Structure 1
């Protein structure tokens, strides 16, 4: 295809115009929403390294991998007037050194506690500074900072329009290699594929088995449709009027346009989580949700108790009941769900090495998950309640429905309306929740072995985001909080860790 320009017979100009058009790619609907003023979201990841960072080695590695991805070598360009403005990705020459920041840190000789406080302050400052829109929308900060978990630290910052958390993490992993074998990509755990009851029934040849299988399929279809319909009504209600209880962890994002966020993390044993999972016959996600529910209950109980003490409302009766929370609390989380067909790490590695094509973009929906907040005599009850809810959510197309509806609203009413609707729906809930599966072996980032990865996201209207990332035999819990709402996020991490140990002890006692 050739683009002709009237009055100009210059072949050079024709070819240049052709290349410009070929390199210009319109933003996807989801990417445009993430650039809306009221929904400007970023993905940020803190990575710990086992040894001191060599910036020149990492810069050279990025030149041969990450910037070969189209999104990481393109800048955002706005075309047309404001009302009819279109946004496109346009390929550009990337100077990697402009995206890798190596600050001069004077805290090497200080204690670890001070180093970790410095790291939290540094990352918090990053949440207040937008990325330079004249360049590709990513940065890597390399900190010569020794903490209790790492010899040095890196901080990756991406604009959410580049892709969803799942695809971005897969791309980062595609830039890494196994420490034991620098030629091999990271290995992710295989998902168990247990044979379902229906598949066992089909193995039989009797007419009774086939009839029973048909009945089960029909019943499953009916329940799927019914659950999806009910969930759709709840999403509509949440968007229009149904608000969560005003608890000490629920923020009000109508009061300010932008906020400084605080990111904290804690690493716990993945083996402990797997022990609970195997004993209770659950998934890792079920356990993480159940422990989070227990932790939120403990945290809110204490916060409500502290509030009563301040206003002098604590009396003998409340001390006897030792329950400071309201009787009914509506506390819901938006759980992000990846809807993209699996794009393996190998596919992304091939794309960067061989310039092959693979699926990319923001393919995410969400489900509204109601946490059951309340003190339980049996800590395992938190697990059972979480599992019942998530099992019911699995038999629903709520995530697909939110994704399709979002695209429809963007197409029909525009990005600004869609962003306002999504922000309103999320503002009526309390928090966000996400869980990613990581490598099972130690990996290295251009020769730098990694001790932990703590990814999260900010810019959406929640005062609390819980993110979980597995790596080798550990699980890193990342909390992104609004410090004006949750001023003590480390206490919430303590509650999470204590709840995990309490549930583990109950499981072991039950087993014995």
Structure 2
């Protein structure tokens, strides 16, 4: 939507938001929620109308551009009926179950359905035949942490309807301040920051991963997609965490990705890779000072310590191919060592300020797009809700999240909900035709790690 004049109350779009509006970086977040009972369309519309979401300025604003092409948010009246898409019939003509049918529906949305700019940039699709709701929210409106905080305020605990849900914890590790005062620690810290900055710049210019059976590249974001779900139990991940000193759930997930990709590559291209080949991913990191989800009620009251929107950095996250027979826990140990170094650096912060905030959107888009093209996968992990919730009075049985497509042939987004963690695996189907097999590789990787951890802890 274009408008040559900027009105007084228009809010400029943030640099991160402008990046996600560029054609090569256009991103929509999908939050998938399975419901226990049939969906009442009127109840959902009423819940949206009265929800905290409508109170958030960006959810009730149009995207407009001035005569110079600069983007702004302009307040408007929200017509909820235009934002709710009701699908009465099954979304698949095949005998696929609910989960597969919903995944197919979202995979099609990932490459073919941008959001209309003549209304605020969000939609809710009600797949009534599958008891499922799909929230489509443009990334310019906020990141995964922001959107989970919205659900935290909106939903109600299924077991205690008068209470808001709480959030889980994935565990963090911080730098010891006394150690940082030591000169040699400071020198190492500075050196590692220089190394990580150089790595990012080289990735944008010419350094790229060796081609494998899961490699993407420029233009792959336009290829048809498939979507599969890997399902984990948080208790299993915690058992593995206990077996590796100082590890976090994020370290365990990193090890699962490393081990699972090795298993899958063994199946797809046995003996095609040398042991130890690096496969590089991009890991998303929350940069907010408050590590958990934020209470939007405080933000709406004007708390300056809470920032809605996009506030995340990116880490280059290498995993290493290991041929069958390697110690499963070694994948976690290697991932932990790498991530501990990166947590003590400014890599994530610098990637945000250099790659998003400091340059014009077209420059930031070029930088980001080149890095994605020269790496192999994307991974994110969002802390979800500890208790199961209800939306419009309907219990939510599962919650999953993913993004629209990137030049990567494989993107992975894990979200915790209750005692489970589901990872959505979006793939370019001409490169990875069997994402269900890949999902099984990740699930089996965790089970093998759990078995090894149980044996180690039992000694």
TM-score, normalised relative to structure 1: 0.82
Confirm or deny: 8 A CA contact 1:176 1:443 kept in the other structure: yes
Confirm or deny: 8 A CA contact 2:36 2:394 kept in the other structure: yes
Confirm or deny: 8 A CA contact 2:88 2:129 kept in the other structure: no
2:296 aligned to which of 343, 348, 358: 348
Distance in 1 (alpha carbons) for counterparts of 2:298 and 2:401: 24
Q: Does 1:496 align with 2:423?
A: no
Could you tell me which residue of structure 2 aligns to residue 331 of structure 1? Answer: 279
1:52 aligned to which of 26, 35, 38: 38
Could you tell me which residue of structure 1 aligns to residue 56 of structure 2? Answer: 69
Q: Does 1:369 align with 2:317?
A: yes
Larger radius of gyration: 1
Distance in 2 (alpha carbons) for counterparts of 1:491 and 1:214: 45
Distance in 2 (alpha carbons) for counterparts of 1:155 and 1:175: 16
1:247 aligned to which of 203, 212, 219: 212
Q: In the TM superposition, what are the counterparts of 1:105-504 in structure 2 within 5 Å?
A: 105-106=89-90, 113-127=96-110, 128-146=112-130, 152-189=131-168, 213=178, 217-254=182-219, 258-281=222-245, 282-305=247-270, 323-327=271-275, 329-342=277-290, 347-350=295-298, 358-375=306-323, 376-407=325-356, 409-410=358-359, 414-504=360-450
Query: Residues 314-354 of structure 1, C-alpha deviation per residue, up to 9 Å, x if partnerless?
Result: xxxxxxxxx443345331011011112338756314556x6
C-alpha displacement at 1:267, in angstroms? Answer: 2.2
Cα–Cα, structure 1 residues 260 and 21, in superposed 2: closer, same or farther, change >3 Å? same
Cα–Cα, structure 1 residues 378 and 188, in superposed 2: closer, same or farther, change >3 Å? same
Confirm or deny: 8 A CA contact 1:261 1:458 kept in the other structure: no
Cα–Cα, structure 1 residues 470 and 428, in superposed 2: closer, same or farther, change >3 Å? same
2:75 aligned to which of 74, 87, 91: 91
C-alpha displacement at 1:384, in angstroms? Answer: 1.1
Distance in 1 (alpha carbons) for counterparts of 2:274 and 2:79: 55
Query: Residues 384-443 of structure 1, C-alpha deviation per residue, up to 9 Å, x if partnerless?
Result: 111111111111110111111124552xxx322221121011110111111111122121
Query: Residues 268-288 of structure 1, C-alpha deviation per residue, up to 9 Å, x if partnerless?
Result: 211111111123231101111
Cα–Cα, structure 1 residues 408 and 434, in superposed 2: closer, same or farther, change >3 Å? closer
Distance in 2 (alpha carbons) for counterparts of 1:503 and 1:123: 31
Confirm or deny: 8 A CA contact 1:438 1:470 kept in the other structure: yes
Query: Residues 46-100 of structure 1, C-alpha deviation per residue, up to 9 Å, x if partnerless?
Result: 11111111111111111112111111101111111xxx31110001111111111
C-alpha displacement at 1:458, in angstroms? Answer: 2.1
Cα–Cα, structure 1 residues 44 and 186, in superposed 2: closer, same or farther, change >3 Å? same
Could you tell me which residue of structure 2 aligns to residue 310 of structure 1? Answer: none
What SS does the aligned partner of 1:23 have?
Answer: coil
Confirm or deny: 8 A CA contact 2:145 2:293 kept in the other structure: no
Distance in 2 (alpha carbons) for counterparts of 1:368 and 1:335: 7
1:34 aligned to which of 11, 14, 20: 20
What SS does the aligned partner of 1:21 have?
Answer: coil
Distance in 2 (alpha carbons) for counterparts of 1:67 and 1:99: 12
Could you tell me which residue of structure 1 aligns to residue 3 of structure 2? Answer: none
Cα–Cα, structure 1 residues 497 and 397, in superposed 2: closer, same or farther, change >3 Å? same
Confirm or deny: 8 A CA contact 1:175 1:349 kept in the other structure: no
Distance in 1 (alpha carbons) for counterparts of 2:329 and 2:221: 40
Query: Residues 335-390 of structure 1, C-alpha deviation per residue, up to 9 Å, x if partnerless?
Result: 011112338756314556x6877421211210101101112432111111111111
Mark the runs of 5 or more structure 1 residues left unpaired by the alignment.
1-19, 147-151, 199-212, 306-322
What SS does the aligned partner of 2:230 have?
Answer: strand
What SS does the aligned partner of 2:198 have?
Answer: helix
Mark the runs of 5 or more structure 2 residues left unpaired by the alignment.
1-5
Confirm or deny: 8 A CA contact 2:174 2:344 kept in the other structure: no
Cα–Cα, structure 1 residues 55 and 260, in superposed 2: closer, same or farther, change >3 Å? same
C-alpha displacement at 1:172, in angstroms? Answer: 2.4
Distance in 2 (alpha carbons) for counterparts of 1:215 and 1:103: 56
Indicate the RMSD between aligned Cα atoms, in angstroms.
Answer: 2.5
What SS does the aligned partner of 1:268 have?
Answer: strand
Between stretches 380-389 and 178-187, larger displacement belongs to 178-187
Between stretches 485-494 and 436-445, larger displacement belongs to 436-445
Confirm or deny: 8 A CA contact 1:177 1:185 kept in the other structure: yes
Distance in 2 (alpha carbons) for counterparts of 1:333 and 1:244: 10
Query: Residues 447-476 of structure 1, C-alpha deviation per residue, up to 9 Å, x if partnerless?
Result: 111111110112432111111111111111
